[in-house]
Amino acid sequence: MSEHHRIVVVGGGTGGITVAARLCRALDEPDVAIIEPSATHYYQPLWTLVGGGAVSREASARPEADLIPDGATWIQAEVSELLPDEDAVQLADGRTIGYDHLVLAPGLTLRWDAVEGLEGHLGRDGICSNYAYDQCERTWETISAFEGGTALFTMPAPPIKCAGAPQKIMYLADDAFRKAGVRDRSEVIYASATPGIFAVPEYAATLNRVIERRGIETRYQHALTAIRPDEREAVFTDGDGDEVVIGYEMIHVTPPQVPPEFVARSPLAGAG
Ligand SMILES: Cc1cc2nc3c(=O)[nH]c(=O)nc-3n(C[C@H](O)[C@H](O)[C@H](O)COP(=O)(O)OP(=O)(O)OC[C@H]3O[C@@H](n4cnc5c(N)ncnc54)[C@H](O)[C@@H]3O)c2cc1C
């Protein structure tokens, strides 16, 4: 064993940093280690406002070192394997870190590749997404360049980080289209793999009123499977398993998301 800590937190994103900070404050002898490879922390909720043209993407990035809670140890490395039988994690650099307690906060992996035809076209050809630091500014460029026609906003099946983000950028775009005077010659469509606007009934009731007030069209149980950039067409599989094609002038894609591979293949993961 290369090192041992009372508590090991895997992932120094918003979740990992928050848990580590609370543990460091609450415990007398915390001995908390955070394993995080990235030197930069990204506050992802801000990417909605970057895509909406309100702030620059740089505002969402801060040095990870500034956010490590007082008293915690930062191990700047990537976990490659979970070894629960040994109460340890394996790092990609070969070290093994032991723990008494393990907190997993490595976030979700974005599966851009699960949407056929997307690769190489994201950030141009009317295709954008707020779901990456290097893409969110392109969203505002795409919204600003929209001159009317169909604006399509997609939402995958869960799991997803922020079930509201695919909608929030749509509402900001709707406002921008109205200010630019193009909304009256536009069709805004929300195409979601889910059966409704939101899983929580109380929120769904309000959001359905927002959708109606803004004149937004909805297509539920529509999972985006492919994009044909040359034809400006998005291909969906609907609830009956049938293919549905919707043409667009711009499309905001929220990619399918899955657990990180080292978690999915670990003994801690359940079947499926
Ligand atoms: C566009 C957008 C808008 C959003 N808006 C909101 C909002 O308004 N409100 C809200 O509550 N949430 C929002 N979210 C969701 C929010 O950002 C996430 O829920 C939150 O970041 C999750 O925190 P996390 O720590 O679990 O994961 P992340 O913040 O993704 O952090 C995971 C960390 O784990 C690290 N990691 C990954 N693999 C490994 C490994 N093998 N070893 C070690 N470390 C690893 C990564 O480098 C990363 O730093 C939004 C997200 C997006 C993308």
Domain that holds residue 20: 3-108+259-264
| Beta-carbon count within 10 A of 175 CB | 15
Specify if 218 maps to a domain: yes
> What is the count of structural domains for the chain?
2
Residue nearest to atom 18 of ligand 1 (CA): 161
- In this structure, the dihedral spanned by the alpha carbons of residues 32, 60, 191 and 247, taken in order and rounded to 10 degrees, is -140
| 56, 46 Cβ separation under 8 angstroms | no
Q: Nearest residue CA, atom 9 of ligand 1?
A: 45
In a domain, 271, yes or no: no
User: How far apart are the CA of 45 and the centre of ligand 1, in A?
Assistant: 9
Predicted local distance difference test score (pLDDT) of residue 270? 80
ipTM above 0.90 for this complex: yes
Q: Give a yes or no: residue 270 inside a domain.
A: no
Do 84 and 130 reside in the same domain of the chain?
no
Write out pLDDT tens, residues 16-67. Answer: 999 999 999 999 999 999 999 999 999 999 999 999 999 999 999 999 999 9
Residue nearest to atom 48 of ligand 1 (CA): 13
Residue nearest to atom 26 of ligand 1 (CA): 107
- The verdict on the CB of residue 40 being under 6 Å from ligand 1 is no
pLDDT at position 272, please?
64
Task: Output the CA 126–ligand 1 centroid distance in Å.
Answer: 26
Ligand 1 and 131: CB distance under 6 A: yes
Question: Does residue 247 share a domain with residue 117?
Answer: yes
CA of 42 to the centre of ligand 1 (A): 8
3-state SS class at 221:
coil
Q: What is the mean pLDDT of residues 75-102?
A: 98
- The answer to whether residues 124 and 100 belong to one domain is no
Ligand 1 and 148: CB distance under 6 A = no
Ligand 1 center from residue 13 Cα (angstroms) = 6
Query: What confidence score (pLDDT) does residue 28 get?
Result: 92
The CA 187 to ligand 1 mean position distance, Å, reads 32
CATH number of the domain enclosing 177: 3.50.50.60
Please name the helix (run of DSSP H) or strand (run of DSSP E) that holds residue 136, with its range, or none.
helix 136-145
Inside any domain, residue 172: yes
Q: What distances in angstroms separate CA 157 from CA 222, 225, 251, 254, one per listed residue?
A: 9, 11, 17, 10
Output the pLDDT for position 2: 87
Residue 159 preceded by cis peptide, ω within 30? yes
Is 145 found in the same domain as 56?
A: no
pLDDT at position 216? 98
Verify whether ligand 1 is closer than 6 Å to residue 260 (CB atom): yes
CA distance 192 to 204: 14
pLDDT per residue as tens digits for the range 134-191: 999 999 999 999 999 999 999 999 999 999 999 999 999 999 999 999 999 999 999 9
